Homo-oligomer: A and B are copies of this chain.
Amino acid sequence: MRSLLCILFFFSTFLQFSLAAPKIRHFKWEVGYLFWSPDCIENVVMGINGQFPGPTIHAKTGDTINVELTNKLHTEGVVIHWHGIRQFGTPWADGTASISQCVTNPEETFVYRFKVDKPGTYFYHGHYGMQRSAGLYGSIIVEVADGEKEPFHYDGEFNLLLSDWWHKNVHEQEVGLSSIPFRWIYEPQSLLINGKGQYNCSLAGHYSNSSSETCDLKGKWQCAPHFLHVLPNKTYRLRITSTTSLASLNLAIGNHKMLVVEADGNYVQPFAVDDIDIYSGESYSVLITTDQNPSMNYWVSIGVRGRLPKTPQGLTLINYLPNSVSKLPASPPPITPTWNDYDHSKSFSNKILALQGSAKPPVQATRRIVLLNTQNKINGYTKWSINNVSLVLPSTPYLGSMKFGLKGAFLNKNPPENFGSNYDIMRPPINPNSTQGNGVYMFALHSTIDVILQNANALSDNVSEIHPWHLHGHDFWVLGYGEGKFNEKTDMKKFNLKNPPLRNTAVIFPYGWTALRFVADNPGVWAFHCHIEPHLHMGMGVIFAEGVEHIGKIPNDAIACGMTAKMLMTGQH
Give the interface of A toward B (CB within 8 A): 33-35, 44, 74-78, 98, 102-103, 105-108, 128-131, 169, 171-172, 174-176, 178-179, 183, 393-395, 556, 560-562, 565-566, 568-571
Of the residues B172, B183, B571, contact of A169 by C-beta under 8 Å: B172
CA distance A394 to B105 in the complex (A): 12
**14 contacts across the A-B interface (CB closer than 8 A):** A44-B171, A74-B174, A74-B178, A75-B78, A75-B103, A75-B129, A76-B77, A105-B395, A107-B395, A556-B570, A560-B566, A560-B569, A565-B569, A568-B568
Of the residues B98, B108, B128, B174, contact of A562 by C-beta under 8 Å: B108
User: How many copies of the shown chain assemble into the complex?
Assistant: 2
CB distance from A110 to the nearest CB of B (A): 12
Instruction: Say yes or no: A128 contacts B569, CB within 8 Å.
Output: no
What B residues does A556 contact at CB under 8 A?
565-566, 569-570
Q: Identify whether the interface residues of A are mostly helix, strand, loop, or mixed.
A: loop
Not counting A44-B171, A44-B172, A75-B129, a sample of 14 additional A-B residue pairs whose C-beta atoms are within 8 angstroms of each other reads A33-B171, A74-B129, A74-B174, A74-B178, A75-B131, A76-B76, A76-B77, A103-B105, A105-B395, A107-B393, A556-B565, A560-B569, A565-B565, A568-B568
Instruction: Say yes or no: A175 contacts B77, CB within 8 Å.
Output: no
What B residues does A176 contact at CB under 8 A?
35
CB distance from A42 to the nearest CB of B (A): 10
CB distance from A245 to the nearest CB of B (A): 15
CA distance A75 to B44 in the complex (A): 16
CB distance from A436 to the nearest CB of B (A): 12
CA distance A129 to B562 in the complex (A): 22
What B residues does A44 contact at CB under 8 A?
171-172, 175
Instruction: Say yes or no: B106 contacts A395, CB within 8 Å.
Output: yes
Instruction: Say yes or no: A33 contacts B175, CB within 8 Å.
Output: yes
With contacts A107-B394, A395-B106 taken as known, whether A569 is within 8 angstroms of B566 at the C-beta atoms is no
CB distance from A81 to the nearest CB of B (A): 14
CB distance from A181 to the nearest CB of B (A): 10
CB distance from A464 to the nearest CB of B (A): 28
